[in-house]
A and B are shown apart, each in its own frame.
Chain A
Amino acid sequence: EVQLVESGGGLVQPGGSLRLSCAASGITSSGYWIHWVRQAPGKGLVWVSRIYSDGGSESYVDAVKGRFAISRDNAKNTVYLQMNSLRVEDTALYYCASHPTTLLWRWGQGTLVTVSS
Chain B
Amino acid sequence: NLMLTQPPSVSGSPGETISISCTRYSASSYVQWYQQRPGTSPITVIYESNQRPSGVPDRFSGSIDFSSNSAYLTISGLTTDDEADYYCQSFDSNIEGFVFGSGTKVTVL
Contacts and interface: CB of A to CB of B under 8 A. Distances in A.
| Chain B interface SS verdict (over half) | strand
Interface of A: 35, 37, 44-47, 49-50, 59-62, 95, 102-110
A44 B95 CA distance: 19
Given A45-B42, A59-B95, A95-B42, A104 B100 contact: no
B97 A59 contact: yes
A37 B44 CA distance: 14
A46 B87 CA distance: 11
A59 B43 CA distance: 23
Interface of B: 30, 32, 34, 36, 41-44, 47-48, 51, 53, 85, 87, 89, 95-103
B30 A103 contact: yes
A106 B54 CA distance: 12
Nearest to B101: A44
Mostly helix, strand, loop or mixed at chain A's interface? strand
Contacts of A46: 100
A108 B30 CA distance: 22
Contacts of B41: 95, 107-110
A107 B42 contact: yes
Nearest to B53: A104
Contact of A47 (B44, B47, B99, B102): B99
A37 B96 CA distance: 14
